[in-house]
């Protein structure tokens, strides 16, 4: 597996599948799927992200808020915070898996 496998698959094509796996409490690869969804979200809030990506991310966030368990509720919350304050983006949290390894809700006033 290439070292950046997570980055390679975290795009629009596999996002619906990754989201479903991240939502599935029984999925043995759930944490990896959640990690990929953090990458997808970080890419989706960039200024030059496509409108389609932004709309799809918003739908994933809404669904996670409605029917997700605690890890996905935290993911949705963190996505909302990043959408409202993109400057708090932290590479190690969003791309390297920090928010999956150490689940926490980001605050609106966090520096990172």
pLDDT, tens digit (0-9, with 9 covering 90-100), for 1-50: 456 877 777 888 999 999 999 999 999 999 999 999 999 999 999 888 88
pTM for the full predicted model: 0.91
In a domain, 107, yes or no: no
In a domain, 14, yes or no: yes
Q: Give the CA distances from residue 49 to residues 32, 43, 69, 96, in Å, rounded to whole numbers and listed in that order.
A: 23, 7, 27, 20
Q: Are 93 and 112 in contact (CB under 8 A)?
A: yes
Give the C-alpha separation, 95 to 72, whole Å: 17
In a domain, 87, yes or no: yes
pLDDT interval class at 112 (50, 70, 90): very low
| Count: domains in the chain | 1
pLDDT in tens, 56-111: 999 999 999 999 999 999 999 999 999 999 999 999 999 999 999 999 999 976 55
> For tokens 């979200």, what's the residue?
41
Say what the pLDDT of residue 7 is: 79
In a domain, 18, yes or no: yes
Give the C-alpha separation, 55 to 97, whole Å: 23
In a domain, 80, yes or no: yes
Range of the domain at 25: 5-101
Residues 6 or more apart in contact with residue 103 via CB below 8 angstroms: 71, 74
In a domain, 75, yes or no: yes
In a domain, 111, yes or no: no
In a domain, 73, yes or no: yes
Say what the pLDDT of residue 11 is: 83
């Amino acid at each position: 597996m290439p070292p950046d496998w997570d980055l390679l698959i975290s795009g629009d094509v596999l996002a619906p599948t990754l989201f479903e796996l991240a939502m599935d409490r029984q999925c043995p690869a759930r944490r990896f799927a959640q990690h990929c969804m953090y990458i997808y979200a970080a890419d989706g809030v960039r200024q030059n992200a496509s409108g389609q990506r932004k709309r799809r991310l918003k739908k994933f966030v809404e669904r996670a808020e409605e029917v997700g368990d605690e890890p996905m509720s935290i993911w949705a919350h963190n996505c909302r915070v990043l959408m409202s304050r993109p400057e708090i983006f932290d590479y190690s949290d969003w791309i390297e898996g920090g928010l999956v390894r150490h689940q926490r809700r980001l605050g609106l006033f966090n520096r990172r």
